[in-house]
């Protein structure tokens, strides 16, 4: 606590007031998170979640727009004084999997689970909205505006790009954007980020190797698609090991392969499904080009053919240096410097917050939820036993509230 100056001003309020308001909202935010956790909804199906969010915001006196990109919700807290507009984002969707945590607030819906923390993100942003309303007298002491973006379908097919297409950053125009994601790699009570790329692009390719089937005893009368696929699979791995700079990073994972009927039948075709990750647009373009080149070359040399369905997903998420500096400065003042971490390298996971951060300067940060002593935040995202230390929710509300106020109080 000696690291924190409670009387320091962030915009119209003090550090102590922000921390106190976030702490006062702790039980309510935890209850919201648990309600969402019990009733998970998949991407573009977040109707009940969105309705809860919209009603909550309206009760605070915040302007609400619903059904943005199907189930998205936008809240607008208008300041009484002219100024910029900062956006804060949370994703709302769950994953199609069963839960195996045994907690009393476990999913009540078979085959659906909040195993990536989006329930926590939504609850944090709702708490942040309430904190900002309380701290600014419903915007009367606010210089500028705050937009609250509750986004559908981050896990797919993606809700950020459709929200932008439907005017999420317009009327008023958004000048900067911040978002968070829970992290089981960081201790509860901490936050972290980095300048530059923080998450990777995520593309996928569906490949079909086309040969000519026949009897397994007479391979010379066929074109064995299994052999061709084996050569192609091996060669694809050389793209990362021999064509991507050792100072860069990329991943080509063939996660599924299917072909053949039985041991004495030469398969006429083999299908492969891949995920492709990269940290820059240049590497992303190169990977797509080389995958096509390798498939063309190997199948051509071995008298086979191929089909390639290459789908681009989310782009790399690149944090703006100025927004990251603001995040670090503000979080350090609110939490103490020791609780704010400089993340050394990007994740090869992907995030569609990248679209928001490409539209305006942005900062995406990690919210620590790991607590080994309590056995919380010890399983990775997308695991059926995933859960978090809910103490991190207060930290999330504190920092999101603080960065919004800090951005709006910057000297122009």
pLDDT tens-place string over residues 30-85: 999 999 999 999 999 999 999 999 999 999 999 999 999 999 999 999 999 999 99
Annotation says 5 is catalytic: no
How far apart CA 270 and CA 260 sit, in angstroms, is: 7
Whether residue 164 is predicted with pLDDT greater than 50 in this model: the reply is yes
pLDDT of residue 257 exceeding 60, the answer is: yes
Residue 412: predicted pLDDT: 58
Catalytic residue among 93, 203, 318, 387: 93
- The CATH architecture annotation of domain 9-198+316-408 reads 3-Layer(aba) Sandwich (3.40)
Q: Give the pLDDT score at 3.
A: 81
In this prediction the pTM is 0.95
How much is the average pLDDT of 288-309? 98
Residue 1 has pLDDT above 50, yes or no: no
Rg of the chain taking only CA atoms, in angstroms:
24
Q: Tokens standing for 327?
A: 């995040």
Per 3-state DSSP, the chain is made up of helix, strand and coil in percentages (nearest 5) of 35, 30, 35
**Distance between CA atoms of residues 396 and 335, nearest Å:** 11
Reported as a single tens digit per residue, the pLDDT across 329-378 is: 999 999 999 999 999 999 999 999 999 999 999 999 999 999 999 999 99
* DSSP result, 137-173: TTTTT-EEEEEEEEE--TTTT-SHHHHHHTTTTTTTT
pLDDT band at 392 (very low <50, low <70, confident <90, very high): very high
Q: For residue 2, name the pLDDT band (cuts at 50, 70, 90).
A: low
3-class DSSP assignment, residue 255: strand
Mark whether 93 is an active-site residue.
Answer: yes
Q: What is the mean pLDDT of the chain?
A: 97
Per residue in 224-236, pLDDT (tens digit) is 999 999 999 999 9
Span 204-209, mean pLDDT? 98
Mean pLDDT of 127-156: 97
Whether 9-198+316-408 shares its CATH topology with 201-311 is answered: no
Domains of the chain, residue spans:
9-198+316-408, 201-311
Active-site position among 91, 99, 154, 224: 154
Mean pLDDT of 80-102: 98
Q: Topology of 201-311 in CATH?
A: Alpha-Beta Plaits (3.30.70)
Note the pLDDT of residue 280: 97
């Amino acid at each position: 606590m000696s690291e924190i100056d409670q009387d320091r001003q962030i915009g119209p309020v003090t550090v102590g007031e922000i921390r106190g308001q976030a702490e006062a909202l702790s039980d309510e935010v935890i209850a919201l998170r648990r309600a969402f956790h019990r009733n998970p909804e998949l991407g573009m199906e977040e109707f009940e979640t969105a309705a809860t969010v919209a009603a909550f915001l309206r009760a605070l006196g915040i302007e609400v727009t619903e059904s943005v990109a199907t189930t998205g919700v936008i809240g607008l807290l208008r300041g009484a004084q002219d100024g910029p507009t900062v956006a804060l984002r949370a994703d709302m969707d769950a994953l199609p999997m069963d839960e195996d945590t045994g907690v009393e607030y476990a999913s009540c819906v078979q085959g659906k689970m909040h195993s990536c923390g989006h329930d926590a993100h939504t609850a944090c942003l709702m708490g942040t909205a309430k904190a900002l309303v309380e701290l600014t007298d419903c915007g009367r002491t606010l210089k500028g505006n705050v937009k609250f973006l509750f986004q559908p379908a981050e896990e797919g097919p993606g809700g950020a790009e459709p929200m932008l297409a439907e005017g999420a950053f317009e009327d008023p125009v958004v000048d900067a954007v911040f978002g968070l994601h829970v992290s089981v790699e960081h201790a509860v009570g901490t936050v972290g980020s980095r300048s530059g790329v923080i998450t990777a692009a995520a593309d996928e390719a569906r490949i079909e190797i086309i040969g000519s089937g026949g009897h397994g005893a007479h391979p010379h009368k066929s074109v064995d698609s299994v052999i061709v696929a084996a050569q192609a699979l091996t060669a694809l791995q050389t793209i990362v090991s021999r064509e991507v700079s050792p100072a860069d990073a990329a991943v080509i994972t063939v996660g599924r392969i299917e072909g053949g009927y039985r041991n004495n039948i030469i398969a006429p075709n083999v299908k492969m499904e891949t995920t492709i990750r990269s940290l820059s647009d240049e590497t992303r373009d190169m990977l797509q080009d080389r995958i096509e080149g390798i498939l063309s070359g190997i199948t051509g040399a071995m008298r086979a053919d191929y089909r390639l369905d290459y789908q681009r997903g989310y782009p790399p998420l690149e944090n703006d240096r100025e927004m990251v500096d603001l995040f670090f400065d503000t979080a350090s003042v609110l939490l103490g410097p020791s609780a704010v971490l400089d993340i050394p390298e990007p994740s090869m996971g992907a995030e569609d917050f990248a679209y928001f951060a490409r539209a305006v300067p942005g900062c995406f940060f990690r919210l620590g939820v790991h607590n080994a002593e309590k056995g919380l935040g010890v399983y990775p995202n997308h695991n059926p036993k995933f859960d978090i230390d809910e103490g991190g929710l207060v930290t999330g509300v504190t920092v999101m509230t603080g960065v919004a106020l800090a951005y709006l109080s910057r000297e122009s």
